[in-house]
A and B are shown apart, each in its own frame.
Chain A
């Protein structure tokens, strides 16, 4: 037994899969202990905030101010103001104004700005639509504003007179120390369409999905194991009956069955646990078949005969003389069932038939939300790529463990 476990952990495939899986599992367990936010709490007043560090503007005004003389501050500001689209527009104007196209480098902000400041003249915009002309004038103005030196004045309304009064002002070389700002929120994966913190939600979803996978896998494997053992060992009418039911379930694709059952349960009573059990109840078929086949080849072995001759009961023979011989196989089946349970939940949820949306997030539900709010169309990658990667990593690691186990237990597969 110990020896087998050692051998399993010596298999590189199993080890890699096991490490990835344990890391996911550990994160899912430890993160909620450290970050105690409820995963479905809505933070953002708006949809799909980009990943980043969010600093309170109010606190920035209040914080102690420092003067820093940075030469490249203006360039950086310009660079941030000039998106790829603006750069193309500048280039287009410059080309119409007669600057040779080859001498314009849109990626060099300083050179581009120099060229622009020296060449731009609203009078040269002839031949453009007035909208275009105005656009260039506005762009020029805002760029010049950035290049300027004046600061910003903060005004507050006087409560008595109702007039605006200057209360504070900022110069361009004013800085605050981020460490001195009390309210900062890091959103490593931004927010989703509801304004929830994606990372917290993703980790909670991973946990729920793993739980769904475990429950579904254990339900499916237990049913498959018990039916397979009975069909294979007892044989006769029992076998015929079990195989009849199994064939019935084989003919109906289990996913169709899953959809029908989920649909008929109704959105309101579809909890994560119910969905997990339903997934388990529709996916035991191939475990039954596989276990039955294995038991068939075992039941006439001499060690089973010897056990019979020692007067052992059918139950004890199944438990002690058959089960240990197929245990490795059952573990592999369980791992596969867990990973396919997770995928089944994701598939169901994408179809809108997953667990109800108000209680817990699941990986499938997160995909569903991202899809409904067209995150994939509007380029809000953080709303679905991390979920996809997560699903892929979970099922990849489990399949890797499985392949590793397979190689240990079926020496014929070893390279």
Chain B
């Protein structure tokens, strides 16, 4: 991607020196270690790293679900301020997530209807007539190939893993956030559903123009979908840049190792192995 076009685009999320430490004293460990990044609007970013490299921890900091030990986060070039519940709610209208494990992402005691209604309410649709709400939910479900009529009055645990993750995407469809963090959304589900989920995510991004931050341990997938790639090793970004520059011209040994783990990187991408 050309340098000047990058200049024109707006930065939507920027981090400087972002750090997260867990524990105290001897048992302290640095999960995210002074990382810097800038994510542009409408971009697809991949954060790639092996298990335990701190990807989920970084995502939770970006989402404001855990506090950072050090460093700052800028949202739309303003220093992020989420100190009150109200400001948090406002921030979460802009940034949403799909978590790694669909089976633990839902409250087992809450029906699917309520999960979707919460999204409509969050978008200020609380006062809409019931029929309109049902219409919105039906639309969201059909976007991810689910039938709302079949889901209504059911509990999330009655769905399969793939269906749960699709419902998550339906949630995002209703929320239409500016930024979506997808934390290995396909790692816990069967191979057949993976391609579908990925397709749906990309389709949704195309439709809403949101920034998609894609977290994965799979560098091949990152190459396939993203504009920029960040390689994460033990809490640090060891390499970053456009997908082509990072993956086709990898400098770091760690990146090369990640690439070698995926046998068909230079060949045609086979979605079913994602």
Contacts and interface: CB of A to CB of B under 8 A. Distances in A.
A and B interact physically: yes
B113 interface: no
A306 B99 CA distance: 9
A235 to B, nearest CB: 11
Contacts of B104: 301-303
A302 B105 contact: yes
A309 B101 CA distance: 16
**Interface residue range, chain A:** 10 to 19
Nearest to B96: A309
B43 to A, nearest CB: 21
A10 interface: no
A314 B99 CA distance: 21
B122 interface: yes
B92 interface: yes
Nearest to A305: B65
Interface string B89-113: 1001100110111001111111000
A231 to B, nearest CB: 18
B63 interface: yes
Interface string A310-322: 1111100000110
A308 interface: yes
B60 interface: yes
Contacts of B100: 302
A332 B238 CA distance: 51
B249 to A, nearest CB: 36
Instruction: Name the interface size band of chain B.
Output: 20 to 34
B239 interface: no
A395 to B, nearest CB: 32
A311 B115 CA distance: 12
A306 B105 contact: yes
B118 A310 contact: yes
A303 B85 contact: no
Nearest to A322: B107
A313 B118 CA distance: 12
Q: Determine which residue in A303, A307, A308 has the highest number of CB atoms from chain B within 10 A of its CB, and name it.
A: A303
B169 interface: no
B99 A310 contact: no
B208 to A, nearest CB: 17
Q: Which of B97, B100, B109 has the most CB of A within 10 A?
A: B109
A3 to B, nearest CB: 11
Given A306-B99, A309-B63, A310-B122, A320 B89 contact: no
A305 B107 contact: no
B195 to A, nearest CB: 23
B79 to A, nearest CB: 21
B24 to A, nearest CB: 15
A324 interface: yes
B92 A305 contact: no
B92 A324 contact: no
A70 to B, nearest CB: 73
Interface in A285-317: 301-303, 305-314
Interface in B107-162: 107-110, 115, 118-119, 121-122
B184 to A, nearest CB: 12
Contacts of B122: 310-311
A321 B104 CA distance: 12
A308 B110 contact: no
A303 B107 contact: yes
A311 B89 contact: yes
B107 A309 contact: no
B107 A310 contact: no
Given A308-B65, A308-B92, A310-B119, A324 B109 contact: yes
A328 to B, nearest CB: 12
A309 B92 contact: yes
Contacts of B110: 320
A311 B65 CA distance: 12
Contacts of A324: 107-109
Interface of A: 301-303, 305-314, 320-321, 324-325
5 contacts: A302-B104, A302-B105, A303-B107, A305-B63, A310-B119
